Chains A and B, each alone.
Chain A
Amino acid sequence: EAGVAQSPRYKIIEKRQSVAFWCNPISGHATLYWYQQILGQGPKLLIQFQNNGVVDDSQLPKDRFSAERLKGVDSTLKIQPAKLEDSAVYLCASSALTYTGELFFGEGSRLTVL
């Protein structure tokens, strides 16, 4: 079974530029999550999709971050314009509607904002 795929793995941009990250979840997983992991901290949920609908985006800085999940499969997370404090690893995870709620994570996209 293929895991969660993310790209790009690494991205370096200057502040005020824009960046987009892509995620392909495990086939059949209805729920998709974007987490932000700042160095030395645990993952913080940015947005959660159930199929192609948003169920929680309370922690998403909507003035600069946007995300979509077209057709309930792939998802894109965009940052525009980027700030220095956006430097982090952006983790995508997916889960099936199982009893245990296990999350399956991709390897992450590391963003450095200069």
Chain B
Amino acid sequence: GEDVEQSLFLSVREGDSSVINCTYTDSSSTYLYWYKQEPGAGLQLLTYIFSNMDMKQDQRLTVLLNKKDKHLSLRIADTQTGDSAIYFCAESIYGGFKTIFGAGTRLFVKA
């Protein structure tokens, strides 16, 4: 079946790197996404990676995809207090027609 799993909490110090991990089950996923949710707000797309890529870099964000292990990670360099939020991993299935979300990883950044 379709499932996306991720750890629930991560705590880092300001200035350190954060790495949030995710595993998914559907090998036919077209795109994999990272969404960010700040308190009281909806989800906002942070970055995405196409399934035939293994890495994507976007400023402080690096996404790594291991398709063999169905493992996705998001690295945030030089983490700031403003990065404190919930980060959701998601996969698109059925040719991009449906998006499945993980439970979210709550990132705490200590000053």
Contact = CB atoms under 8 A, between A and B. Distances in A.
15 contacts: A41-B104, A42-B90, A43-B43, A45-B99, A55-B97, A91-B43, A93-B42, A103-B45, A103-B99, A105-B42, A105-B43, A106-B42, A107-B40, A108-B41, A108-B42
Given A42-B102, A101-B92, A101-B96, 10 more contacts: A40-B8, A42-B103, A43-B88, A44-B101, A48-B98, A100-B48, A102-B33, A102-B45, A105-B44, A108-B41
Interface string B90-111: 1010001111011110000000
Contact of A42 (B40, B41, B104): B104
A74 B45 CA distance: 22
B40 to A, nearest CB: 7
Nearest to B89: A42
